[in-house]
Amino acid sequence: MAIDKEIQYGFMPGCSLSSYNPDVVIQTVAYLREALPGFSAVLKCCGKPTRDLGQYELFRERFEGLLTDIRDVKIEEMIFACPNCKAVFEKESQVKSHSLWEILPLIGLPEEARGKAKGSDMVFTIHDSCSARGDKAAQEGIRWILTELGYKYVESECSREKTRCCGYGGMVNPVNPELTRKVMQRRVETLADYPVVTYCATCRSTLLKAKRSAWHILDLIWGPVVYAKDEPPADVLEVPENVWHNRFKTRRGIAEGCQ
């Protein structure tokens, strides 16, 4: 694809990413706003948890409200950081959808991020979200970003189209936490023995619960250079109070950036 300067783009970071790290969301929104002449940020839930729990009528009600908001600000095409949000839109709407990870290679990384990690001794492996199993553009984009930053990585056997669920897919955990733990452990065992980089905040939280060091790709773009000795950011999503505080901080930060 190519960036169309005449199109009004919208960006949804997703609930988990907004709950995890407001700073990287705010910086990403600011960067996209500079790069895309027509741009709006959307901070709403796509409704996937409701749909996965079988409450389809409630999901449609909420999703239609989201689509109304998108139409109200005249968004023509959507960009998603969350693979789950993108998958929901592709299945449930006619809105043309893109992954943030296919957009960034088109507009380039911020100048200060390019090559910043060339001196790092960190070697990652990559966990592809199961929702991105068929999204080759997103998969390639993540690997391009790591290379552009200067990080080395090793592919796991179960990656890309062969990736496995982290354990939290389909809202299984509220219904069958034991199954979640089994799937989580199986996923960790199929990852190469390196720290992990992923592009789903929920996947990162799950991998941390399974005692694997994990970073979100936006941590690497906007945060300090990571070295082999470094510990990953804490699992903020474990504490509900942190989740809601961070969502408020994300919303306020984006609003202030629009003023």
Report d(CA 32, CA 13) in Å as an integer: 12
pTM (predicted TM-score): 0.93
Alpha-carbon Rg for the chain in angstroms: 18
User: Which residue is it, tokens 């936490």?
Assistant: 177
Report d(CA 202, CA 166) in Å as an integer: 9
pLDDT (0 to 100) of residue 184: 81
**pLDDT above 90 (res 98):** yes
Residue-wise pLDDT tens digits, 141-151:
999 999 999 99
**pLDDT above 60 (res 230):** yes
State the pLDDT confidence band at 204, using cuts at 50, 70 and 90.
very high
Give me the architecture of the 8-106+239-258 domain, per CATH.
Answer: 3-Layer(aba) Sandwich (3.40)
Among 47-61, 64-78, 156-170, 232-246, name the one with the lowest average pLDDT.
Answer: 156-170
pLDDT (0 to 100) of residue 259: 56
For residue 70, the SS3 value is helix
Tokens of 37: 């002449």
Instruction: Pick 171 or 160 by higher pLDDT.
Output: 160
Residues of 64-89 as b/e, b for ≥16 C-beta within 10 angstroms? eebbeebeeeebeebbbbbbbbbbbb
pLDDT (0 to 100) of residue 127: 95
Q: CB–CB of 97/9 below 8 Å? A: no
For residue 118, the SS3 value is coil
Give percent of the chain with pLDDT exceeding 90.
75
E strands within the chain?
Answer: 8-12, 38-41, 77-80, 96-99, 123-127, 152-153, 196-198, 214-216
State the pLDDT confidence band at 215, using cuts at 50, 70 and 90.
very high
C-alpha distances in Å from residue 152, one per residue of 22, 61, 193: 26, 44, 14
Instruction: Pick 1 or 166 by higher pLDDT.
Output: 166
pLDDT (0 to 100) of residue 185: 85
Instruction: Pick 179 or 232 by higher pLDDT.
Output: 232
Mean pLDDT of 198-214: 93
Domain boundaries, the chain: 8-106+239-258, 113-235
Residues of 192-230 as b/e, b for ≥16 C-beta within 10 angstroms? bebbbbbbbbbbbbbbbbbebbbbbbbbbbbbeebeeee
pLDDT (0 to 100) of residue 182: 86
Report d(CA 82, CA 129) in Å as an integer: 9
**pLDDT above 70 (res 221):** yes
**pLDDT above 90 (res 54):** no
Long-range Cβ pairs for the range 221-226 (8 Å, 24+): 221/24, 221/109, 221/110, 221/113, 221/145, 221/149, 222/23, 222/24, 222/27, 222/28, 222/113, 223/24, 225/116, 225/117, 225/119, 225/120, 226/117, 226/120, 226/122, 226/151
